Structure 1
Amino acid sequence: MLLLRPLRQTSRVATAALSASTTRACAQRSSNVAPFFRRTYAARGAPAAFPTIDTCPSPTCSCAPTPSFPEGFEIDHTTPLNGLMPNHAQQVLICTGKDDWPSKIEDDDNGQNHAAMLRDLIGRGGPYSDPFHNISVLNVSFPPSSSSPSSASSSPADQEEATNTTTTPPKTTSIYLLPDFKYVPSLSSDPNHVKALVKAHLLPEKLHPVHNHSPPAKREALLRDPSYGDMLPGGVRDIRNEVIVLICGHGGRDQRCGVYGPLLRSEFETRLAEQGQQQQQQKQQQGPGIEVLKGAAEKAVVDLEKKKGVWGARVGLISHIGGHKFAGNVIVYIPPGLKSYDDSDVPHPLAGHGIWYGRVEPKHVEGIVQETIKKGNVIKELFRGGIKQGGEILRLPL
């Protein structure tokens, strides 16, 4: 590993050269959209910055059996999980409405897709590539919003070009940004719109010090510019009371996740729905109801906002996030505005957090729903890492 240390009697030119070489070296080791594993921990002996329990409670329900795999595809049950989460500042979830994709998601639809466009911009060699600000681009099984930008939202030049050419109209999808907890209901494949998403929401607000010696124009290009948000036809909304559960189900990449993904999705939807049913049957029970959201996000959110005292929960499959041998891989995102399940005047203990779990089996799902989603406890034996809104990475102390 190349380390930067202060050097006495070093000229500004030499320092700049050292910084540039460091940037190149780091870029060679890390892709912005394929974050690398780097096991890190909280300070030794320091208490965890979030509530924890040691093990997942045993299930009280009749859950699906744990699948078995052939030789060579076994699940790694020996490697400690803590710290084995890819380094990233943000996840971009592209709503595809599909449950599986090619091994490389940018190859989907013959390369005509949003993942490919984003990787061209922020991936290695792209104009907004920054090895010190990793962005993870993923496909998700959630369907895109049924709304799409109207012709009225296009500029006259765009409309004229569409009229005078035979090119295929831009494809439109929806985007989740996590842990920023933002939802972009409508993003077309117009290069200007994709660039606007990158500039307004994906680039950092402050650059790593290694960029101090870069040319001003380069630094400006790599910084976030919120004014670009005005170019997004569908706008951006906050995710308020939707718990989001993501499960790696990328069978086109590895059969372990291809098997675990659909199995765990079904289990999570069942256990979450049970919570809502129990709440309806026991009116006196403390805490909000939970409603599993399906279909296009816009309608589900409108319906949810009409109901008081109800959490939404959306469960989806995502493409490769790293660590197939730790399947099932699950990420639970708790929105920043969510209140405690037991006290609506107190914030949820994990509000604004994304919690990564590995080696999740069907027998663990009920415990994750009860302990992590409802109570806000992180389960140590399953914990790979976490991330807070703003990008702070979370680990357990040694």
Structure 2
Amino acid sequence: MLFPDLSAPEINNSKQFKQEPAIAFVMDRFLALVLDFLIFSPVISLLVSGLVRQAKTFFLLNSRSEEGIVAALMILAVSAVAVVLLQAAFLYLIQATPGQFFLQMRVVSYPQQQTRLTFSQCLVRSVMWCASFAMFAIPFLGIIAHPLRRAFHEKASDTMVITLKSRHDRGPAPHEQRLITSWMQLSFAMLALVGFLGLMKSYHGLTAGEFQVAANNSDAACKEIKDKDLMGTQRLDAALSLFLLKEISADCLHKEAELSLWGDPVNSQAMAYFAKFLLSEGADRVDYLKKVCEERTSTGCVLAQYLDHPEDVQLSDASEKLWVTQVLEADQRYNQRDYEGSLELIEDLQSVTALRQAMDKKYVRSIWALQKSMGQKKGGRVPASVNGGKLWIEDFKEKYGVQ
């Protein structure tokens, strides 16, 4: 025969195994892994087919579907459990996976030899085998580096893979062992570094209030704000802007203020009290003004004082990054008949999804006022602002298809 019969095992002498273990070849183990994948994958695919179909449906309806994420996690969990149980069953019954059995390999107890593997050994080996993939398969390099070709999952379960062929592996060469071992150590060090950096980033996000998504989507959040991507201080900023634009109710703003105070009191306290200031009257309004202005230079204090005494307070003292400041400044410029300045701010605010509809109304109002003011200017030298106003009107006509 040109090729040996792979299905006919050539069992080594037990005495020889005691003196020198019949180590399975690395290539045979790799081929066994490929065969196991080809055998197990149809079975596992059948088990998770229903979950896969549901996950696809969820993600087609919503790319950020929470149900889809849960379904995907269930697919991973069911697949892992199925692999563990299938491997453990084959190891317990025939002391090998199907691929290993076909390539004349067996899993035996080592260093303490036993007639058969216990089920606990089979289960631990399978669980640790799956866990090795969670560490980017780095532990599998032990098959190349270890003198007996034993990886992490084999050491954990006191097992070893041997061959039933007449020839067996002699183990890695010394330089090969040193190279792979040092590479594994470097890989684990890099993995630990990445894990540490991820932990620090998560801690920073926790203190900065970046994990408020669950709270924003809870029943405590206001349903009148349609943009679900807003979270933390941005969501409260949008609520304040929409309230001043008369697009949401007082109850909605109250919910958002309470949610901010409970969810992120460090970053949202001043603006949350500003929201309560807007909703209060009489003595309560004065009390909330005092709370807002505990820090006199805060944006919340500047805005509250501006709404009470607009002639005595400069909006430029408030943070121009906040949408609510820009909304108030756009109205201020409109009242001062600086329609072009108002339009500049409105155009920026139109890019905010939550404010777009309300700002479109303000945009039309300012364009109408600008056109009316230009019509009242007759004769004499044409100011440069008139030319700028014409550009705004032309842009408006082009955008809305008005002749």
> Scaled by the length of structure 1, what TM-score is found?
0.20
**Larger gyration radius, structure 1 or structure 2:** 2
> Scaled by the length of structure 2, what TM-score is found?
0.19
Structure having the larger proportion of residues in strand: 1
